[in-house]
Amino acid sequence: MRVLVTGGVRSGKSRHAEWLLRDRAAVTYVAPGPTTSQDHDPDWAARVAAHRARRPATWTTVESRDLPAALSTGPDAVLVDCLGTWLTGVLDERGLWEAPVVEVTRAVRDLLDATAAVLTDRDDVVLVTSEVGLGVVPAHRSGRIFRDLLGTVNQDLAAVCDEVHLVVAGRVLRIG
């Protein structure tokens, strides 16, 4: 089963995603945001460490923005947490925040298409993402670009998932 877990920040998405895979002996946990070895973000490193501490020791953490490769890691279940940090990392890594919208969209579309192609050949995948389309319109261009692109990412990957789970205040609503 492929599941996309979405919701607001600190809504309980990660805990729910981990719960979905609780019976798996081995899980590859993909952290696609900043890599602690390259980006030296102490807040991100602390977040990755906190997630590691609450998971079984048999789960493996992979820090990588290469989602197609991470989804191809082998027979274990895969949990990707989170697509929003992945998108931010991609835009940072490629210097796309100030690029023309067409260029930004094309770059993300290429990565998204490759990810969706690999995802369709997998089972036992849980993707975590943030729902950003329910709030106010961001005041800055970067916020609008992020919101619009993450909405596209969420829609495209939800289309190849079997279910979408919306998490609000720790409660889960299964959609489709």
- Phi, psi of 7, deg, nearest 5: 160, -175
Q: What is the pLDDT at residue 24?
A: 92
* Sheet strand arrangement including 77-81: 60-63, 27-31, 77-81, 125-128, 2-7, 163-168, 171-175
Q: What is the pLDDT at residue 35?
A: 60
- Mean pLDDT to the nearest integer, 138-154: 95
CB 59, CB 26: distance < 8 Å: yes
Q: What is the pLDDT at residue 10?
A: 86
Task: Give CA separation, 20 vs 26, 79, 133, 134, 149, in Å.
Answer: 13, 10, 25, 25, 26
- Mean pLDDT to the nearest integer, 147-164: 96
Domains of the chain (ranges; CATH) run 2-175 (3.40.50.300)
- Mean pLDDT to the nearest integer, 141-170: 96
Choose the catalytic residue: 16, 40, 51, 140. Answer: 51
- Prediction pTM value: 0.92
Q: What is the pLDDT at residue 148?
A: 94
For residue range 17-76, list pLDDT tens digits in order. 999 999 998 999 998 976 656 666 777 778 777 877 888 888 888 889 999 999 998 788
51 is catalytic: yes
Query: Smallest Cα–Cα separation from 14: which of 84, 85, 80, 59?
Result: 80
CB 9, CB 171: distance < 8 Å: no
- Per-residue pLDDT band for 110 (boundaries 50, 70, 90) equals very high
Structure tokens at 82: 């989170």
